[in-house]
Amino acid sequence: MRIAVTGSNGLIGTALVRSLRADGHDVVRLVRRTARGADEVEWDPLRQYVDAAGLIGCEAVVHLAGAGVGEHRWTEAYKKEIRDSRMLGTAAIAEAVASLEEPPRVLVCGSAIGYYGDTGDRAVDESAPPGSGFLPAVCEEWEAAAAPAEEAGIRVAFARTGLVVAAEGGAWGRLFPVFRAGLGGRLGSGRQFWSFISLYDEVAALRHIVNTETVSGPVNLTAPEPITNREVTAAMGRVLHRPTLVTVPPVALRFALGEFASDVLASQRVVPAKLLASGFGFTFPSIDDSIRAALG
């Protein structure tokens, strides 16, 4: 199968491209520079430009590009970058695939469980409404930007990803060195739910969505049993054989992270109802197994 991928240099995109190519698929990477080979297609999300000719023959497009939510403090300028990178990029991809004489069968757009906002102790699936705040608003607009592809009759799925357990990058990639040094501990009260997924299962779920014709719309990419930050802390200590006595108070998080601290301290108890109903099986459903998988 010929598959196009945006965000192929990111944590999830790198792992997805590696997995697809290992299984013999023809992967086309969208790059923000002049294409240097047959496996690259030029695009510029902020200018909403895509060399659509490079997508001819693709049966699927997986769109993962977007500015990192936790990469910088949330200044007004960076919040605009977070939003624009998602809305403008998604609109560009959706319009490009919709313009093709023979469009791809499916467009899988990255999204996030940030859509639901703070759910407290309440478990939510894909039927839940959006929460309130910056991230839920971004996720709503992000998904809405794919409308041209849906209107063209393309099956569109939104991969609402949770916290990816990986050592190579992302939020968890920054946790590992801290816990290895014996400086890890719960964040705030530790009672907030963290909806996690191993990087292996994240990639497998994306591939499952591509290949399962009955899956469309929002799809939660999280392990079946969300756990609290206190339980995550205990698991990291268990697997890494390190003490976890440190507690990071909310005021320290707010000082270090600014507005983003509110989302770190938020509770998101998200379950993958659609994945499970469509027959997807998790290889690493527990937090201990996900941590071990991340360590190789």
Q: Tokens at residue 286, please?
A: 């527990």
Distance CA 162, CA 201 (A): 11
| pLDDT per residue as tens, the chain (296 positions) | 999 999 999 999 999 999 999 999 999 999 999 999 889 999 999 999 999 999 999 999 999 999 888 777 888 999 999 999 999 999 999 999 999 999 999 999 999 999 999 999 999 999 999 999 999 999 999 999 999 999 999 999 999 999 999 999 888 888 899 999 999 999 999 999 999 999 999 999 999 999 999 999 999 999 999 999 999 999 999 999 999 998 988 877 676 567 767 777 899 999 999 999 999 999 999 999 999 999 98
Domains in the chain with CATH codes: 2-294 (3.40.50.720)
Q: Tokens at residue 194, please?
A: 């963290």
- pLDDT of the residue at 123: 97
Distance CA 205, CA 228 (A): 23
DSSP string, 21-45: HHTT-EEEEEESS---STTEEEEET
Beta strands in 75-170 (DSSP E): 106-112, 123-124, 155-161, 163-165
**H/E segment holding residue 68:** none
- pLDDT of the residue at 71: 73
Contact 124, 270 (CB under 8 A): yes
Distance CA 67, CA 73 (A): 12
238: alpha, beta or left? (left if phi > 0; alpha if psi -120 to 50): alpha
Beta strands in the chain (DSSP E): 2-6, 26-31, 40-44, 49-50, 60-63, 106-112, 123-124, 155-161, 163-165, 185-187, 193-194, 196-198, 217-221, 227-228, 246-248, 269-270
pTM over 0.85: yes
Contact 228, 191 (CB under 8 A): yes
Distance CA 7, CA 63 (A): 7
